[in-house]
Structure 1
Amino acid sequence: MSTGTPKLTEIQFRCDAEEVSRARAATRRRLRGKSQELIERAEHCVSETIANAITHSASQATSGLVSLVLIELDDRIRVEVIDDGSESNRPTVIEDPDDETGRGLVIVAQLSDDWGFHLDHSGCNVWFELKF
């Protein structure tokens, strides 16, 4: 049972590969004071999910933006990356090491305590959670 009010941070990034490092830095700042191991896991997962959104979503052609939402709960951080979706693409985990795509979500699945995605008419939300 939650005893505190969740702390929410939302930041929008342009669909540009250079924005991935800005997303990592924002995550690091938000988690200041938490364990280094948690911060590094969060940064890796943010890198993968933001890069996927920039590369594979329709955001570049539509709004030009992806959103990073950090929700700090009592016992965990939930991170959501929201984009404009794609008609032909859905988040996919491909564990074949010879494939050129799909490995990012394998990393997210391995580093996070839970993860998933939600697709609807407004876009795609890929999320993961890390316990404190």
Structure 2
Amino acid sequence: MKVVGLLGQVAFPGELASVPRARRYVRDLLDTAGHRQADDALLLVSELVANSVRHSDSGRRPDGQVTVAVANHDGALHINVIDAGSAEHRPSLRAGTDPGSCTGRGLWLVDELAADWGWHDTPAGRVVWFRLSGG
């Protein structure tokens, strides 16, 4: 039997100031849940929320929002970052990403640290998600 439990979900304005707010929100949820990989989760949420603000319509519209949803799924941590999507940008790994670079490493970090990740479009926008094992 699969056990799925939503720990929390919240929408933030589509602005860079929402990155630390999203990180604090997830940190508070994970502190309560006692998740072992909280540091990885916080880094990846920061990267994905920043990507949403920079590359989706959520960051270009005055009323744009980015939603973060955190759930337990069979002992793993599953996090969705939901935005308005973009016709010009699709999530993809950059070829030849430099691990020492200060920019352009968001999805590379997700790919390196998450047990699994992906994205899909919905009628309302785009969901980029990742899973960390061993809650």
Which TM-score tier does this pair reach, normalised by the shorter chain?
Answer: 0.7 to 0.9
> 1:73-95 CA distances to partner (integer Å, 9 max, x unpaired)?
23111100001110111001103
Amino acid aligned to 2:84: D
CA contact (8 A) 2:82 2:127 kept: yes
Closer, same or farther: CA 69–57 of 1 in aligned 2, 3 Å? same
Question: Which runs of 4 or more aligned residues in structure 1 lie more than 4 Å from their structure 2 counterparts after TM superposition?
Answer: 98-102
**Length-normalised TM-score, structure 2:** 0.86
Cα distance in 2 between the residues matched to 1:123 and 1:5: 23
| Secondary structure of 1:20 counterpart | helix
Identify the match of residue 128 of structure 1 among 96, 121, 130.
130
> 1:40-88 CA distances to partner (integer Å, 9 max, x unpaired)?
0100110111000010001133441110011122311110000111011
Within 5 A, what are the aligned runs for 1:1-132? 1-2=1-2, 4-32=3-31, 33-35=34-36, 38-62=37-61, 63-97=63-97, 102-132=104-134
| Secondary structure of 1:6 counterpart | strand
Cα distance in 2 between the residues matched to 1:41 and 1:121: 30
Which ranges of structure 1 fall in alignment gaps of 5 or more residues? none
**Length-normalised TM-score, structure 1:** 0.87
